[in-house]
C-alpha cells in the first residue's frame, strides 16, 4: 500500500506543478486567439435570456476552453506512467483495462463532442451560440447508452449496492436503463451549476475527493491516481478562477469530467456501496437540476415561468444576493455533505 500511496502522491504533485506553470501561458494564448466566452442571448428553449445576460455581461470574453490544459495534463501523466513502466521503474501504468480503461476512454470521448460546443460559442455561431439542445441530447444519448451497454453486456453488472439499508439489489435488464437515465442526469447537472466563479470548481473537487477515497479503500489504486490527477488540475485551476475569473471551465471540460465521474460511480458500485454517499454529495447538483427542469417543463406546458430565472443559484443572484455570498454558502454546504459521504464510505473499512 505504501508504494501505491507514493505513486498517487507523485502523480498528484507533478500534475499540480505542471498545471501551475502552464496555466498563465495558456491563458495568454487564449487571449491572443480571442478564445473568450460569449454570453448567451437565448435559453435552451430559444426564449430571450435577458435576466441571465444582464447578470453575467461583465464576464463576456473571459478566456474559456480550460479543458485543453486538463486534457494535456492527463495525456502527459498517462504517457509518463507508460514510459516508467517500459523502463521497469513501475510494474503498471495508468492505461489499465481492469481499472482505468473505461473512465479514461469516456473522459477523452466526451471531450470530442463538447469541443464542438466550445468552438461554436467562441466563434459566435448559430442563434444560441453553442450546440442546440437537440444536438447535445443526441451526444448524451449515444454515449450514455454505450456506458450502460459496457457495464451490462461486457462487465456483466446488473445490480446496485444499497447497503447498509437494503443491500445488493439485482435489477437485471433494468440496470442498463437506469444507468442510462442516471448518466444523462449526472452530466447535465454539473453543466447547470456552472457560471458562478469557483462554484463548479468546488463542487467538482469535493465529489472527486469522495470518489477518490472510495476507490482507494476498494484497492483500485490506478483509478485513484487518475482521479487525483483531475483534482490536482482543478486545484491549480482554482488560482485562476477566483472572482474575477481569468479563465472558465465551460462545457467540454465539465461534461467530460462528469462523464468520468459517472463511469467511476458505476465502477465503484461493483465493489462497495457507493449509492448513498453519491446521493449525499450530489445534493446541490440535484437541486439545481430539478429547479431547471421544472422551469423548462412549466414554460413548455403552461407557457410561463415557475421562477424568474433558473437554476436555483441564478435565482439567488436575481434576489440580489451577491455572487461570492452564494458561492461561499454552497461551498460550506458541499464541504459538510462531502465529510458526511466520506464518513459513510469509511464505515466500510
pLDDT of residue 56: 47
How crowded is residue 199: how many other Cβ atoms within 10 Å of its Cβ?
A: 23
The beta strands (E) that lie in the chain are given as: 159-161, 168-170
Paired strand residues for 159 = 170
Apex CA 259: angle with CA 255 and CA 262, to 5°? Answer: 135
Exposed/middle/buried for residue 140 (C-beta within 10 Å: 0-12, 13-18, 19+) = buried
pLDDT of residue 225: 93
- Give the model's confidence band at 129: pLDDT under 50 very low, under 70 low, under 90 confident, else very high: very low
Determine what percent of the chain is predicted with pLDDT higher than 70: 77
Q: What is the mean pLDDT of residues 239-259?
A: 70
Q: Do residues 237 and 19 touch, judged by C-beta distance below 8 A?
A: yes
* Residue in the block written with cell 465503484: 268
Average pLDDT over all residues of the chain: 79
Q: Do residues 232 and 16 touch, judged by C-beta distance below 8 A?
A: yes
Q: Quick check: 41 pLDDT over 80?
A: no
pLDDT of residue 90: 76
Q: Do residues 293 and 189 touch, judged by C-beta distance below 8 A?
A: no
pLDDT in tens, 74-97: 999 999 999 988 888 777 788 887
* Residue in the block written with cell 465551460: 250
Tell me which of 92-106, 123-137, 316-330 is least confident: 123-137
Q: Do residues 274 and 345 touch, judged by C-beta distance below 8 A?
A: yes
pLDDT of residue 295: 83
Q: Quick check: 229 pLDDT over 90?
A: yes
Q: Which three cell numbers stand for residue 221?
A: 489504486
Q: Quick check: 209 pLDDT over 90?
A: yes
Closest by Cα among 278, 288, 295, 294 to 340: 278
Q: Quick check: 204 pLDDT over 70?
A: yes
Ramachandran bin of 266, using left for φ above 0, alpha for ψ from -120 to 50, beta for the remaining angles: alpha
- Report the range out of 69-73, 113-117, 194-198 with the highest average pLDDT: 69-73
Q: Which residue has the higher pLDDT, 244 or 182?
A: 182
The number of angstroms, rounded, from the C-alpha of 219 to the middle of its chain's C-alpha atoms is 23
pLDDT of residue 89: 78
Q: How many CA atoms lie within 13 A of 141 on its CB side?
A: 6
User: Phi and psi dihedrals of 161, rounded to 5?
Assistant: -95, 105
pLDDT of residue 197: 63
pLDDT of residue 58: 46
Omega before 244 within 30 of 0, i.e. cis = yes
Closest by Cα among 218, 198, 194, 195 to 277: 218
Residues recorded for the chain: 349
Instruction: Please report, to the nearest 10 degrees, the dihedral formed by the alpha carbons of residues 189, 215, 107, 38 taken in order.
Output: 40
* Residue in the block written with cell 463538447: 114
pLDDT in tens, 315-345: 787 777 787 888 888 889 999 999 999 999 8
- Give the model's confidence band at 126: pLDDT under 50 very low, under 70 low, under 90 confident, else very high: very low
pLDDT of residue 226: 93
Q: What is the mean pLDDT of residues 247-274?
A: 78
- Give the model's confidence band at 18: pLDDT under 50 very low, under 70 low, under 90 confident, else very high: very high
Amino acid at each position: 500500500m505504501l508504494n501505491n500511496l507514493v505513486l498517487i502522491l507523485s502523480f498528484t504533485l507533478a500534475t499540480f506543478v505542471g498545471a501551475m506553470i502552464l496555466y498563465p501561458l495558456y491563458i495568454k494564448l487564449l487571449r491572443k486567439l480571442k478564445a473568450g466566452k460569449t454570453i448567451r442571448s437565448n435559453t435552451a428553449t430559444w426564449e430571450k435570456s435577458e435576466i441571465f445576460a444582464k447578470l453575467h455581461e461583465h464576464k463576456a470574453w473571459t478566456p474559456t476552453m480550460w479543458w485543453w490544459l486538463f486534457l494535456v495534463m492527463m495525456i502527459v501523466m498517462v504517457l509518463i506512467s507508460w514510459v516508467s513502466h517500459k523502463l521497469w521503474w513501475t510494474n503498471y501504468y495508468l492505461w489499465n483495462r481492469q481499472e482505468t480503461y473505461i473512465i479514461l476512454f469516456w473522459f477523452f470521448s466526451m471531450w470530442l463532442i463538447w469541443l464542438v460546443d466550445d468552438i461554436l460559442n467562441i466563434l459566435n455561431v448559430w442563434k444560441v451560440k453553442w450546440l442546440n439542445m437537440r444536438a447535445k441530447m443526441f451526444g448524451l444519448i449515444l454515449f450514455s447508452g454505450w456506458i450502460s451497454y459496457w457495464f451490462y453486456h461486457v462487465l456483466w453488472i446488473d445490480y446496485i449496492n444499497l447497503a447498509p439499508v437494503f443491500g445488493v439489489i439485482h435489477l437485471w435488464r433494468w440496470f442498463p436503463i437506469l444507468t442510462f437515465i442516471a448518466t444523462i442526469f449526472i452530466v447535465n447537472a454539473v453543466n447547470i451549476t456552472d457560471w458562478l466563479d469557483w462554484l463548479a470548481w468546488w463542487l467538482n473537487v469535493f465529489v472527486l475527493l469522495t470518489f477518490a477515497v472510495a476507490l482507494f479503500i476498494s484497492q483500485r489504486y490506478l483509478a485513484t491516481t487518475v482521479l487525483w490527477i483531475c483534482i490536482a488540475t482543478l486545484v491549480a485551476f482554482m488560482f485562476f478562477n477566483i472572482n474575477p475569473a481569468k479563465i472558465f471551465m465551460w462545457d467540454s471540460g465539465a461534461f467530460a469530467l462528469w462523464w468520468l465521474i459517472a463511469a467511476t460511480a458505476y465502477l465503484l458500485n461493483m465493489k462497495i456501496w457507493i449509492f448513498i454517499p453519491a446521493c449525499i454529495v450530489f445534493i446541490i447538483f440535484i437541486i439545481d437540476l430539478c429547479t431547471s427542469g421544472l422551469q423548462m417543463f412549466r414554460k413548455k406546458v403552461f407557457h410561463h415561468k415557475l421562477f424568474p430565472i433558473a437554476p436555483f443559484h441564478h435565482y439567488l443572484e436575481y434576489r440580489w444576493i451577491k455572487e461570492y455570498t452564494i458561492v461561499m454558502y454552497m461551498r460550506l454546504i458541499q464541504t459538510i455533505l462531502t465529510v458526511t459521504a466520506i464518513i459513510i464510505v469509511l464505515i466500510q473499512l
